[in-house]
Amino acid sequence: MDRLKVYILGATGLVGQRYVQLLARHPWFEIAGMAASERSAGKTLLQAGWILEEPPPPEIAEMGIEKLDVDRVPRVDFIFSALPSEVAARVEPQLAARGHTVLSNASNMRLDPDVPLVVPEINPEDLKLLERQRAERGWSGGVVKKPNCTTTILNLSLKPILDEWGIERIHVVTMQALSGAGYRGVPSVAIIDNAIPYIKGEEEKVVLETRRVLKADFEIYVTTTRVPVLDGHLEAVYVDTKKDFDVSAVVSALSRFKGLPQELKLPSAPERPIEVRSEIDRPQPRLDRWAGRGMAVVVGRVRKLAPRKLAFVVLGHNTVRGAAGNSILAAELMVKMK
Ligand SMILES: NC(=O)c1ccc[n+]([C@@H]2O[C@H](COP(=O)([O-])OP(=O)(O)OC[C@H]3O[C@@H](n4cnc5c(N)ncnc54)[C@H](OP(=O)(O)O)[C@@H]3O)[C@@H](O)[C@H]2O)c1
């Protein structure tokens, strides 16, 4: 098939650059253009400040960045948005009203009942909310969201446990990477030789978005922290299950877990969305964040602390599975589901 055209908003940011990296060689999608703020307008990605591992291919590296203007965004099949939430809140509804389909990372509208908040392996059926969104808002386009990065990683690891044993409550402590705060996020002098036990708004997002994605109302207690790691959020998770479990059965359920993206063999779908490691000191961000090309989460230290009390650690790449990669997978699903 001809490759579908996509446009990236916020292409110079940390999530935007991941979009560029993942889309530059995508088998179905072709980057038709990109936009950012006035600061980057007229520059190339390299001039604006490329910071990822490998540079983009020349045809993308030399593409000019446009200043975002909703009336000048070209007709494309999908728009991927990596804009700050306050900008997205203004721009994304205007684009949807003009007939564009926007897949967005920003936190605005994530809890609106007519907006799909999708992790493709968990709740692909929620993409159908787009029909309601169009009808209720009178839009010819639409907005699809993904949960925040910490929530996406956590929810993938919880889904097989919820399905098999039920969940009464969870306690979570996160150790979140610097890239989760964006390019101008945490000042280096604040984080080198340090850890910060608070991330504004993050704990509330984990609670509300987990309930929405998993369609469950178990108790959620969470502390989110920032640590001096570049990429990869690590989360220590304690789960009180409804039914008792064997550790070996939990490991097996996590390892066997698959969803619609795997069934449909979508290009960005990892073969196994959850990889389980048996070494006592894994997962680790530097060693494990690229599991499944950054699209798998890695679970380790699976332990039974007492009857119905499970503990484990989960790691995921926050700008791939936690952001750009998850939205690209959702777009692939939309192509297949027409
Ligand atoms: N980082 C993560 O792990 C992560 C995970 C999940 C969700 N998110 C969400 O994804 C979004 C992007 O995050 P990020 O970490 O990539 O942020 P970032 O590094 O700060 O990048 C922000 C991008 O938005 C552009 N921008 C800012 N103001 C603009 C405006 N007025 N008009 C047009 N473009 C504008 C910036 O362009 P200039 O370079 O030209 O200023 C830049 O390209 C945020 O909503 C964030 O909450 C991030």
Is position 100 annotated as part of the catalytic site? no
- 309 and 184 in a common domain: yes
Q: Is the peptide bond before 283 cis (omega within 30 degrees of 0)?
A: yes
- 113 and 10 in a common domain: yes
Taking a C-beta distance cutoff of 8 angstroms, is the pair 121, 258 a contact? yes
- 232 and 136 in a common domain: no
- 169 and 78 in a common domain: no
Q: Tell me the C-alpha distance between 245 and 54, whole Å.
A: 44
| Sequence-ordered strand ranges (E) for 283-336 | 297-306, 309-316
CATH code, domain with 124: 3.40.50.720
Taking a C-beta distance cutoff of 8 angstroms, is the pair 301, 311 a contact? yes
By CB neighbour count within 10 A (0-12 exposed, 13-18 middle, 19+ buried), where does 236 fall? middle
Q: Tell me the C-alpha distance between 247 and 313, whole Å.
A: 14
Q: How far is the CA of 314 from the centre of ligand 1 (A)?
A: 25
State the pLDDT at residue 1.
73
Out of 9, 105, 199, mutate this one to test ligand 1's pocket (max ligand atoms within 8 Å of CB): namely: 105
Nearest CA to ligand 1 atom 14: 182
CATH code, domain with 310: 3.30.360.10
Q: Which atom from ligand 1 is nearest to the alpha carbon of 41?
A: 40
Taking a C-beta distance cutoff of 8 angstroms, is the pair 102, 76 a contact? no
- 238 and 297 in a common domain: yes
Q: What is the 3-state secondary structure (H, E, C) of 114-180?
A: CCCECCCCCCHHHHHHHHHHHHHHCCCCEEEECCCHHHHHHHHHHHHHHHHHCEEEEEEEEEECHHH
State the pLDDT at residue 54.
87
- 153 and 131 in a common domain: no
Q: Tell me the C-alpha distance between 291 and 5, whole Å.
A: 28
Ligand 1 pocket check for 44: Cβ under 6 Å: no
Q: What are phi and psi of 256, to 5 degrees?
A: -85, -15
Ligand 1 pocket check for 232: Cβ under 6 Å: no
Q: Tell me the C-alpha distance between 142 and 93, whole Å.
A: 8
- 331 and 280 in a common domain: no
- 113 and 161 in a common domain: no
Q: Domains in the chain: how many in total?
A: 2
In a 13 Å sphere around the CA of 31, the CA atoms on its Cβ side amount to 28
**Beta pairing, strands 219-226 & 233-241:** unpaired
Ligand 1 pocket check for 323: Cβ under 6 Å: yes
Is position 233 annotated as part of the catalytic site? yes
- 116 and 56 in a common domain: yes
**Per-residue pLDDT for the chain (338 aa), expressed as one digit of tens each?**
789 999 999 999 999 999 999 999 999 999 999 999 999 999 999 999 999 988 899 999 999 999 999 999 999 999 999 999 999 999 999 999 999 999 999 999 999 999 999 999 999 999 999 999 999 999 999 999 999 999 999 999 999 999 999 999 999 999 999 999 999 999 999 999 999 999 999 999 999 999 999 999 999 999 999 999 999 999 999 999 999 999 999 999 999 999 999 999 999 999 999 999 999 999 999 999 999 999 999 999 999 999 999 999 999 999 999 999 999 999 999 999 98
| Residue span of the structural domain in which 300 resides | 149-317
State the pLDDT at residue 338.
83
- 186 and 293 in a common domain: yes
Q: How far is the CA of 82 from the centre of ligand 1 (A)?
A: 5
Q: Which atom from ligand 1 is nearest to the alpha carbon of 15?
A: 16
Q: Which position among 26, 100, 149, 317 bears the catalytic label?
A: 149
CA dihedral sign, ordered 37, 40, 45, 50? negative
- 246 and 167 in a common domain: yes
Ligand 1 pocket check for 183: Cβ under 6 Å: yes
- 258 and 114 in a common domain: no
Nearest CA to ligand 1 atom 12: 82
Of the candidates 68, 70, 62, the residue with the CA atom closest to the CA atom of residue 43: 62
State the pLDDT at residue 180.
97
pTM (two decimals): 0.97
